[in-house]
Amino acid sequence: MRPFTYERAGNPAEAAAAVAARPEAKFISGGTNLLDLMKLGIEHPAHLVDISRLPATIEDTIDGGLRIGAQVRNSDLAAEPRVRARYPVLAMALLAGASGQIRNKASTGGNLLQRTRCAYFYDRNMPCNKREPGSGCSAMQGFNRGHAVLGASDACIATHPSDMAVAMSALDARIETILPDGGSRNLAMDEFYRLPEATPHIETSLQPGEMVAAVTLPPPPPGRQIYRKVRDRASYAFALVSVAAIVDAERGRIGGAQIALGGVAPMPWRATAAERALGGSGSSEARMRAAADASMQGARGYGHNEFKIELAMRMVQSVLTEAA
């Protein structure tokens, strides 16, 4: 066990300043991911700033949306009546993401920031650019059945594990942060996450000491909301492929949709090409097929994970068909 120091933050600004002041400091809330990484020697912070006692609130916004505090537990968020009624895709994703025990500890902010579950990232005996930049990617030529087919790079093909983040991406969520100097930022999901490219160890656009404060959801979009997840076992395994969709359909005819994919990329993957294809001309059936094909535009398999491309396309078409 590596020694570390600990403090409990009294407010968000104090927490951000405390982490910014020490290069090897980390925030800790539920700790469901960080503590595992510390035990394995993958993360070794010299100082922990406990933010778990900061206020955890869910508030209506002026425009009819919802503001979810970063400390809200996954169980509380999934059970929140306003979420279940107005954003059921988010509740479904949370319930599919982990056991009740983990949901009771895991926070909204921590869920967004959890590290990949790539086996080579967790194995300190194997090279991993995400863990040790420049060491290589063992998954590229290794067993990569669970790895990315979209958005990956020659440096890293790991996937992001969050179910919640996939639903939030489909819902056009935005992430509020607090800076160490007391300022704040408001980021779209695709601004918050970074693709690996040549620097897979840099996973988000957060600055040193910057802390996730809340997630805001816009007013609920029209249409039916669906979250579907395919995994190797039903007992809370990570997604091979997941689809979060909000589909505007009436009497069997598809209008438009907001679609995000999980288990296929280093970040929640907004399937904008599929959304554009669905908005084209032709029958609903033809547009659904076109959207399914477009959802894997630019996809690349690495051997064991090539099945994900066909699986994802079938899932997108199935979800759209169910919604219609």
The distance of Cα 45 from the centroid of its chain, to the nearest Å, equals 23
Beta bridge partners of 60: 66
pLDDT at position 8 is 96
Q: Are 264 and 159 in contact (CB under 8 A)?
A: yes
How far apart are alpha carbons 296 and 283 in whole angstroms?
Answer: 21
In the predicted model, what is the mean pLDDT of residues 286-308? Answer: 96
Beta bridge partners of 67: 59, 216
Mean pLDDT, all residues of the chain: 95
The pLDDT tens digits of the residues spanning 51-107 come to: 999 999 999 999 999 999 999 999 999 999 999 999 999 999 999 999 889 999 999
In this structure, what are the phi and psi dihedrals at residue 220, rounded to the nearest 5 degrees? -60, 130
The pLDDT tens digits of the residues spanning 26-52 come to: 999 999 999 999 999 999 999 999 999
pLDDT at position 251 is 61
Residue 136, number of CB atoms within 10 A of its CB:
15
pLDDT at position 48 is 97
In the predicted model, what is the mean pLDDT of residues 278-303? Answer: 93
How far apart are alpha carbons 169 and 93 in whole angstroms?
Answer: 12
Q: Are 91 and 112 in contact (CB under 8 A)?
A: no
The distance of Cα 124 from the centroid of its chain, to the nearest Å, equals 24
pLDDT at position 284 is 87
Burial of 35 (0-12, 13-18, 19+ CB in 10 A): middle
pLDDT at position 252 is 64
Residue showing tokens 């919604």: 323
Strand ranges (DSSP E) for the chain?
5-8, 25-28, 47-50, 58-60, 66-69, 174-178, 184-188, 211-217, 224-230, 241-250, 253-262, 269-270
Please measure the distance between the N-terminal and C-terminal CA atoms of the chain and give it in whole angstroms: 54
How far apart are alpha carbons 306 and 148 in whole angstroms?
Answer: 9
pLDDT at position 23 is 84
Q: How many CA atoms are closer than 13 Å to the CA of 49, on its beta-carbon side?
A: 23
pLDDT at position 147 is 98
The pLDDT tens digits of the residues spanning 219-243 come to: 999 999 999 999 998 878 899 999 9
pLDDT at position 280 is 83
pLDDT at position 256 is 85
Tell me the DSSP string of 174-187.
EEEEE-TTS-EEEE
Q: Are 241 and 314 in contact (CB under 8 A)?
A: no
How far apart are alpha carbons 126 and 142 in whole angstroms?
Answer: 11
Residue showing tokens 């990569």: 144
In the predicted model, what is the mean pLDDT of residues 295-311? Answer: 97
